[in-house]
């Protein structure tokens, strides 16, 4: 059995790590390189950095913080936000990131996934999906940091993304983001059942039990969280011990 990954998520705005609820009410947390090093030293398996206002502000990801993070940590990390061209992939990977996450730009131009996978390999291409439940009982894909609804169905988009070459899917629940009530297990399960690449759960972790549910019920390969790690509510070492005691393979 493959070890499940514990992945702190660091949302970056104006060069600082921030956190909100339902993609709103943003609060300042820390410096990305300093917090990244702390997580790297604390046993995190990977890190994810999102430049959360880059797409909405129609600008590129800040490469400065990417370089600083790469200098400080020794675990894989991915970067997303404002990625819209093959050159963006190239510059981010050259700055030290291991993977590049696309969201809004991939919705606008799905061929970007295909081109990036062909040039850099599927393992470097992460499709991040911001999803919110709709009145029909399915989930709509949102872009521009959760600000704009699209006509895409989240499960169908995940399948399409993998067909195009995405090597990993991150499922961000807008409904559960920052609420600490648990992941959207129903959505996660639908996506893990539909695709054959690793799926990362994101949005909703409030206690250790939620991480366990994401693996046991929805078969998530990685479990991503922000608030509970940033504010010291859950320690990664304690979480890994808890998961191992409950039969989940993790790297200790």
Rounded Cα–Cα distance for residues 176 and 153 (Å): 18
Q: How many C-beta atoms lie closer than 10 Å to residue 249's C-beta?
A: 11
Out of 51, 130, 177, 184, which one is annotated catalytic?
130
**11 annotated active-site:** yes
Confirm if 7 and 36 have CB atoms less than 8 A apart: no
Q: Exposure of 247 by Cβ count < 10 A (0-12 exposed, 13-18 middle, 19+ buried)?
A: exposed
E strand or H helix that includes residue 98 = none
Alpha helices in the chain (DSSP H): 32-41, 63-72, 86-94, 104-108, 111-120, 154-164, 185-194, 208-216, 227-230, 236-245
3-state secondary structure of 233: coil
238 catalytic residue (yes or no) = no
CB-based contacts of 186, cutoff 8 Å, min separation 6? none
Catalytic residue set = 11, 130
């Amino acid at each position: 059995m493959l070890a499940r990954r514990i992945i702190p998520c660091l949302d970056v705005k104006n060069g600082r790590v921030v956190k909100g609820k339902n993609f709103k009410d943003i609060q300042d947390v820390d410096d990305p390189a300093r917090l990244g090093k702390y997580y790297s030293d604390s046993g995190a398996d990977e890190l994810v950095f999102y430049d959360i206002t880059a797409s909405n502000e129609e600008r590129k990801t800040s490469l400065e913080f990417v370089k600083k993070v790469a200098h400080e940590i020794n675990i894989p990390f991915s970067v997303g936000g404002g990625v819209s061209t093959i050159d963006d992939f190239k510059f981010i990977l050259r700055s030290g990131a291991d993977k590049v996450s696309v969201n809004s730009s991939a919705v606008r131009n799905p061929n970007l996934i295909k081109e990036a996978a062909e040039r850099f390999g599927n393992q470097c291409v992460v499709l991040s999906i911001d999803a919110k439940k709709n009145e029909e009982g399915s989930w709509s894909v949102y872009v521009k940091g959760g600000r704009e609804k699209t006509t895409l169905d989240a499960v169908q988009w995940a399948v399409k993304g993998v067909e195009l070459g995405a090597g990993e899917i991150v499922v961000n629940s807008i409904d559960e983001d920052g609420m600490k009530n648990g992941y959207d297990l129903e959505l996660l399960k639908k996506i893990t059942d539909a695709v054959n690449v690793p799926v990362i759960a994101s949005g909703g972790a409030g206690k250790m039990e939620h991480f366990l549910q994401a693996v046991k019920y929805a078969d998530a390969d990685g479990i991503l969280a922000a608030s509970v790690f940033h504010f010291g509510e859950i320690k990664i070492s304690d979480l890994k011990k808890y998961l191992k005691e409950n039969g989940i393979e993790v790297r200790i």
